[in-house]
Amino acid sequence: MSLNDILSLLRISLHAMVPLALTAVGEIIGETAGLFNIGLEGILLMSAFVAVLGAKAGGPAVGLLVGMGTGAFVGFLFSVINTYWKGTQMVTGIGINLFAMGFVAFGLIQLGAPGFHDVPKAAELAKLRTPMGAMSPLILVALVLPFIVFWFLKRTRAGLMLKAAGEAPEAADVAGININRIRLYATTFGGLLAGLGGAYMSVAWMGLVTKDLSAGRGFISLACVVFSGLNPLLALLAAFIFGLFQGLAEWVKTLPSKPIPAQFVSMLPYIITLLVVSGAIGRVRFPKSLGEPYKRE
């Protein structure tokens, strides 16, 4: 591989990292508070789509905002159903995913071509010229955000309250924390970040939206969360690693002679996720803090 190739790989990897990192960090906040949202996939898809609508109407910034709003709304809905209404988190998540699939496919047809829609250049978020090539400014956001969230969780009282709500709700209750309200805030914000990730995919990165744009990224983000033990910095690392493999997959496809069939290359991110989650690649273990929030159902 030449230097150019490496830079190219790096560039692709960083881009691929963004939706994973944003979604994972958002989910970390939600899971710290005790809610497990498997509807991330649906949120990514829906916000990618809605962002395009917004971008076409008012430009890329509007697109991103609308995407975030969509994500926040779905996150809000999820937490209301599962805190105040005492629903089942798994079923809600599955419902969100199903709904999103239909909604986006349906909406795409309205926009013209079934299953696919190109985002006009004017609506795309401009990429910055860098030595590495054209890069989206949101990469910066994805790199910085985990640090902010990390600081927030560790060093503010709100972060403490969040953790308490997830780890020991009884103790938190006695300390006067409103568990439902905290979870509401947490998951809504988590949805907002996932919404940004989705919007990024269509408006800032790929410039198009398809009916399965998310391609399992919601679940790969969950794998990042598992890997990170609810530490945003580790989630960023995981997101980068997965992004790297997606970049590698892309790169292999561009090779003139194809050593590996394209389909196997496409499988790679998922296999890696599986291996990482199974601990075959020396995953750092965070047993206690990981298990408990899930039980807070």
167 binds other proteins (CB under 8 A): yes
114 binds other proteins (CB under 8 A): yes
Q: Is the CB of 60 or the CB of 191 nearer to other proteins? A: 191
Q: How far is the CB of 245 from other proteins (least distance, A)?
A: 13
Q: What is the DSSP letter of 86?
A: -
8 Å CB contact between 129 and 9 = no
Of the candidates 200, 223, 243, which has an alpha carbon nearest to the alpha carbon of residue 14? 243
Both tokens of 41, joined, read 């996939």
Burial of residue 198 (number of CB atoms within 10 Å: 0-12, 13-18, 19+): buried
164/223 Cα distance (integer angstroms)? 23
Q: Is the CB of 47 or the CB of 136 nearer to other proteins? A: 47
Q: How many CB atoms lie within 10 A of CB 103?
A: 17
59 binds other proteins (CB under 8 A): no
Q: Three-state SS for 208?
A: strand
Q: Which of 13, 79, 92, 187 binds other proteins (CB under 8 A)?
A: 92
209/191 Cα distance (integer angstroms)? 19
229 binds other proteins (CB under 8 A): no
Q: Which of 168, 206, 208, 237 binds other proteins (CB under 8 A)?
A: 168
282 binds other proteins (CB under 8 A): no
176 binds other proteins (CB under 8 A): yes
Q: Which of 4, 130, 156, 254 binds other proteins (CB under 8 A)?
A: 156
214/280 Cα distance (integer angstroms)? 26
**Which residue has 């209750």 as its token pair?**
173
Q: Is the CB of 1 or the CB of 174 nearer to other proteins? A: 174
111 binds other proteins (CB under 8 A): no
Which positions lie near other proteins, rule CB under 8 A? 38, 42, 81, 85-88, 90-92, 94-103, 105-110, 114, 155-158, 160-161, 163-164, 167-168, 170-177, 215-216, 219, 222-223, 226, 261, 263-264, 266-267, 270-271, 273-274, 277-279, 288-289
